[in-house]
Amino acid sequence: MMNDKIVPLNFVPIGKTAKVKSLISDGILRRRMLDLGLISDTVIEAVQKSPSGDPIAYWIRGAVIALRSEEANKILVEVN
């Protein structure tokens, strides 16, 4: 059974933090996410939405990274 606190990253409200629980992607996109440091229990903070709402900027391991909704949707996180 899936914990109701586990949601795709793009559901995390601006200003809230979450911990990575799993990646539901493969190939080049999965490799890119791992290269960004998105491994289990990495803390991510949703920082800012672009005016159009996509992409969203996230604070990940000391850097601000913009991810499109289609990418963030494949990162499952537990909201803190």
List C-alpha distances in Å: 62 to 4, 8, 36, 42, 66: 28, 21, 11, 11, 13
Q: What is the pLDDT of residues 59-71, one digit of tens each?
A: 999 999 999 999 9
Residue boundaries of the structural domains of the chain: 6-79
pTM of this structure:
0.88
Q: What is the pLDDT of residues 9-38, one digit of tens each?
A: 999 999 999 999 999 988 999 999 999 899
Any residues with CB less than 8 A from the CB of 80 and at least 6 apart, and which? 16, 17, 18, 19, 43
Q: How confident is the model at residue 80 (pLDDT cuts 50, 70, 90)?
A: confident
| Burial (Cβ within 10 Å: 0-12, 13-18, ≥19) of residue 53 | exposed
* pLDDT in the model for residue 35: 92
Q: For the residues 50-79, what does the mean pLDDT come to?
A: 94
Out of 3.30.160.70, 1.10.760.10, 1.20.1070.10, 2.30.30.90, select the CATH number for domain 6-79: 2.30.30.90
Q: How confident is the model at residue 53 (pLDDT cuts 50, 70, 90)?
A: confident
